[in-house]
Amino acid sequence: MLSFRKCARKLFPVAFTLRVVLALQLIPALPGAGDASLVELRCKILSDRADRAYKLWKVDIRKATGEPLRQAIGPAGGTVRFKNLEPAIYLVCLSGDKNRSRCQSVDLVPSPHHKAPVFEKSFEVPPRVTSRSDAHGVSASRLGVPEKARKVMLRSEEAQLRGDSEGAIRHLQRAVEIYSKYTEALNNLGTHYHRAANYTRSIEYFTKVTQLDPQFFAGWVNLGGSLLAAGKFESALEANRKAVELRPDEALANSQLGMNYFYLRRFPEAKTYFEKVVRLDPSSAKSPQLFLAHIAFAERRPDEAEHQIRQYLELHPNSPQAASLRQTLQNLAATGSPKDQEDSQSPP
């Protein structure tokens, strides 16, 4: 009798083992510049009929990890351009008008034969009504930030956009010296340590942020991310649940909570949140479809796993994993389901 685990191994080529998305830091990165052509993104900002007045929107493009890269300002109905980007999945965020904001992922990985590609994407402006519990009110620690510290913080953000990470960190440290309860600066310092894989320090910073301002979403979602990266799955659960409580429709928070349950092998809960991410941000660099495929195999539902893999390939046809995933689909078609194999090899 052929076990399900052995059958699953036969279905998957070496390049796509079921562990391909198990570790937060091992989620496959999309190709960098290397010898690939740089790409251009043209963001069309769709108008909202409910917005009668002329409005400008800030458009941020960030790495999939959240690190800011570029900024531009554009009106509703207009188009902003970002040139000379490396092929990758990016996060594009629109913000403005009474703290309204919306982010979505875009796959800017062209086919190998496409030279100097231009991607045209449309983005809806953020909704006027939000389910975010942190959308109203500002904590005392954030209200108390001195103007001098705010100016230093602004210089840190400018340095980051220039690619001057060391300068950005110096300004952040200076801002915290001026005002020790500056949650945004503390949060950004924690982010620096997280990206440097110093999770002990990042967890310290993010914990302090959540203590100073329990309604600060970024502190909770970052704390949850660092705890996950450190392998502290049980501890991460509280932080990731709090992040989803504050922003139930935030794709990143739902992704992390789904991964948290996944690492704890609580697959029914993980499935709930990954399915929500697929609805909120289907092109997410967190690859929710591949997590769902893994869960489907674990639950002996190969047809569902095949569906999720196909959904992923539709969104990311030029992913580095695409070839091995297509091989997996061929193996599935040729081999049949694990249950069929078990039945065929059962003793008479």
Q: What is the pLDDT of residues 268-290, one digit of tens each?
A: 999 999 999 999 999 999 999 99
Instruction: Assign 186 a pLDDT band (cuts: 50, 70, 90).
Output: very high
Can you give the CATH number for the domain in which 122 is found?
2.60.40.10
CA–CA dist 10, 20 (Å, integer)? 15
CA–CA dist 289, 130 (Å, integer)? 26
CA–CA dist 22, 19 (Å, integer)? 5
CA–CA dist 233, 239 (Å, integer)? 10
Q: Residue 115 has what pLDDT?
A: 76
Q: Residue 97 has what pLDDT?
A: 76
Portion of the chain with pLDDT greater than 70, in percent: 82
Give the dihedral of Cα atoms 184, 190, 193, 194; nearest 10 deg.
-110
Instruction: Kindly state whether residue 298 falls inside one of the protein's structural domains.
Output: yes
Q: What are the structure tokens assigned to 240, written together?
A: 């990731």
Please write the tens of the pLDDT for every residue from 222-260: 999 999 999 999 999 999 999 999 999 999 999 999 999
The residue range of the domain holding 328 is 1-20+287-348
16 and 47 in one domain?
Answer: no
Kindly report the number of other CB atoms within 10 A of residue 154's CB atom.
Answer: 12
124 and 86 in one domain?
Answer: yes
Q: Residue 341 has what pLDDT?
A: 41
91 and 60 in one domain?
Answer: yes
**pLDDT of residue 180 exceeding 50:** yes
CA–CA dist 183, 204 (Å, integer)? 13
Portion of the chain with pLDDT greater than 90, in percent: 67
Among 164, 161, 162, 203, which residue's Cα sits nearest to residue 186?
Answer: 203
Q: Residue 138 has what pLDDT?
A: 64
Q: What are the φ and ψ backbone dihedral angles of 46, each rounded to 5 degrees? A: -75, 140
107 and 72 in one domain?
Answer: yes
Residue where one domain finishes, among candidates 74, 98, 128: 128
**pLDDT of residue 140 exceeding 90:** no
User: Coil, strand or helix: which one is 151?
Assistant: helix
112 and 51 in one domain?
Answer: yes
* CB-count exposure of residue 128 (10 Å: 0-12, 13-18, 19+): exposed
296 and 346 in one domain?
Answer: yes
Q: Residue 66 has what pLDDT?
A: 81
13 and 40 in one domain?
Answer: no
